[in-house]
């Protein structure tokens, strides 16, 4: 009889220990995976839908894009650093800004505030905000601004095209350019807020003056470092669409706004556009 009591007691003890273990492992986030890319840079992968970054200096850290905000991005960032944090949006699209809700203020280019404002009106964001019960202030940033993180300087460069207020962020010490969706492998240029491809090409060409200042590109949907030559590949793909290179082989592309076209360059860069 005593043996049975001991066995039941041990069984209950095991159940309690397992429960305690499971509860201690519970997180406030489930879909954002954090991985370290270099000494100072972490990648946040939001369910393979969008990518954000944490750049950690000696005095401050910067969060570059906050993705869909399905998880508490502030808590995700706190798993990497306890330093004061500044948040910068590469542009105003929903897949890069909804996690703003977890912070007090966010830097964005003034020409993308309207786009972000419209995105904030959608039900998904209202739901996130309802739970947090606080407002996020936008602060303005644009070309020429520098953010000193202590040993790391982030510099802002304008790259309008994908959106009017798209920016690139240069990490001068790590020689990395953060490009959001303005330079990537699958660029949407069919949206109402996109510029003409010709204007985008001119804006891309202009950015050539910082081409020798970075070796890597981290864009808004990357899984890791891309070589800096993605800049030239991206520009070449845009030029191909302008020049209608192999346009007859471009496939239809369906998105939430309708049907347009997609062009794949020989360098594996896709540009989505209105024919
Ligand atoms: Zn975008
Ligand atoms: Zn995006």
pLDDT tens digits, one per residue of 60-113: 999 999 999 989 999 999 999 999 999 999 999 999 999 999 999 999 999 999
C-beta of residue 122 within 8 angstroms of C-beta of residue 88: no
Query: What pLDDT does residue 273 have?
Result: 98
In sequence order, the β-bridge partners of residue 40 are none
Q: What is the DSSP letter of 250?
A: P
Residue 30: pLDDT band by 50, 70, 90 thresholds?
low
Q: Ligand 1 centre and the CA of 56: distance in Å? A: 24
**Helix 197-206 vs helix 230-242: crossing angle, to nearest 10:** 150
The predicted structure's pLDDT at residue 21: 57
From ligand 2's centre to the CA of 183, what distance in Å? Answer: 11
Q: Where does the pLDDT of residue 36 fall: very low under 50, low under 70, confident under 90, or very high at 90 and above? A: very high
Note whether 90 and 65 are within 8 A (CB).
Answer: yes
Compute, in angstroms, the gap from residue 26 CA to the centroid of ligand 1: 32
CA of 231 to the centre of ligand 2 (A): 17
C-alpha 180 – ligand 2 centre gap (Å): 7
For residue 255, give the nearest of 272, 271, 270, 241 by alpha carbon: 272
Ligand 1 centroid–CA 196 distance in Å is 15
Categorise residue 161: left if φ over 0, alpha if ψ from -120 to 50, beta otherwise. left
What's the CA-to-centroid distance between 68 and ligand 1, angstroms? Answer: 12
Could you list which residues have their CB under 5 Å from ion ligand 1? 93, 181
Distance (Å) from CA 6 to ligand 2 centroid: 58
- What spacing in Å lies between the alpha carbon of 4 and ligand 2's midpoint? 60
Q: Ligand 2 mean position to 89 CA, how many Å? A: 11
The chain-wide mean pLDDT, for the chain, equals 93
Close Cβ partners of 187 (under 8 Å, ≥ 6 residues apart): 162, 181, 234, 237, 238, 269, 270, 271, 272
Q: How far is the CA of 258 from the centre of ligand 2 (A)?
A: 18
DSSP reduced 3-state for 86: strand
Percent of the chain that is helix, strand, coil (3-state, to 5): 35, 30, 40
| pLDDT score at 22 | 54
Measured distance CA(129)–CA(127) in Å, rounded: 5
Domain spans of the chain? Answer: 2-273
Distance 211 CA to ligand 2 centre (A): 23
Q: What is the pLDDT at residue 199?
A: 98
Each residue of 175-186: pLDDT tens digit? 999 999 999 999
Which architecture, in CATH terms, is 2-273? 4-Layer Sandwich (3.60)
Q: What is the pTM of this model?
A: 0.88
Report CA(114)–ligand 1 centroid distance (Å): 14
pLDDT band of 26, cuts 50, 70, 90: very low
Would you say 147 and 59 are in contact if contact means Cβ atoms under 8 Å apart?
Answer: no
Query: 83-87, 119-123, 204-208, 214-218 — which is least confidently predicted?
Result: 119-123
Residues contacting 95, CB < 8 A, separation 6+: 46, 49, 50, 67, 68, 220
The residues pairing with 137 across neighbouring beta strands, listed in sequence order, are 105
Q: For residue 19, what pLDDT is reported?
A: 65
Give residue 241's pLDDT band: very low, low, confident or very high (50, 70, 90): very high
Instruction: Write down the pLDDT at residue 1.
Output: 60
Q: What is the pLDDT of residue 16?
A: 74
Please answer whether residues 99 and 68 qualify as being in contact, where contact means their C-beta atoms are separated by less than 8 angstroms. yes
Distance 93 CA to ligand 1 centre (A): 5
Distance (Å) from CA 181 to ligand 2 centroid: 5
Residue 162 above 80 pLDDT? Answer: yes
């Amino acid at each position: 009889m005593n043996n049975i009591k001991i066995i039941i007691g041990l069984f209950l003890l095991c159940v309690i220990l397992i429960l305690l273990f499971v509860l201690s492992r519970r997180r406030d986030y489930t879909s954002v995976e954090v991985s370290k890319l270099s000494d100072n840079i972490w990648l946040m992968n939001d369910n393979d839908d969008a990518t954000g970054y944490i750049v950690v200096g000696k005095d401050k850290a910067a969060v570059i894009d906050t993705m869909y905000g399905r998880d508490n991005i502030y808590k995700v960032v706190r798993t990497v650093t306890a330093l004061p944090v500044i948040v910068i949006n590469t542009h105003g699209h929903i897949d890069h800004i909804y996690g703003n809700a977890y912070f007090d203020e966010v830097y964005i280019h003034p020409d993308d505030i309207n786009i972000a404002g419209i995105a904030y009106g959608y039900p998904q964001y209202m739901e996130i905000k309802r739970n947090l019960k606080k407002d996020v202030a936008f602060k303005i940033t644009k070309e020429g601004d520098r953010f000193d993180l202590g040993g790391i300087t982030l510099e802002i460069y304008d790259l309008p095209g994908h959106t009017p207020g798209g920016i690139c962020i240069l990490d001068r010490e790590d020689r990395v350019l953060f490009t959001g969706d303005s330079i990537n492998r699958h660029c949407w240029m069919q949206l109402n807020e996109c510029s003409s491809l010709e204007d985008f090409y001119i804006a891309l060409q202009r950015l050539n003056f910082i081409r020798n200042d970075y070796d890597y590109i981290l864009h808004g949907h990357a899984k890791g470092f891309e070589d800096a030559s993605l800049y030239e590949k991206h520009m070449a793909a845009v030029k191909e669409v302008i020049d209608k290179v192999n346009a007859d082989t471009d496939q239809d592309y369906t998105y939430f706004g309708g049907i347009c076209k997609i062009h794949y360059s020989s360098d594996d860069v896709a540009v989505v556009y209105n024919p």
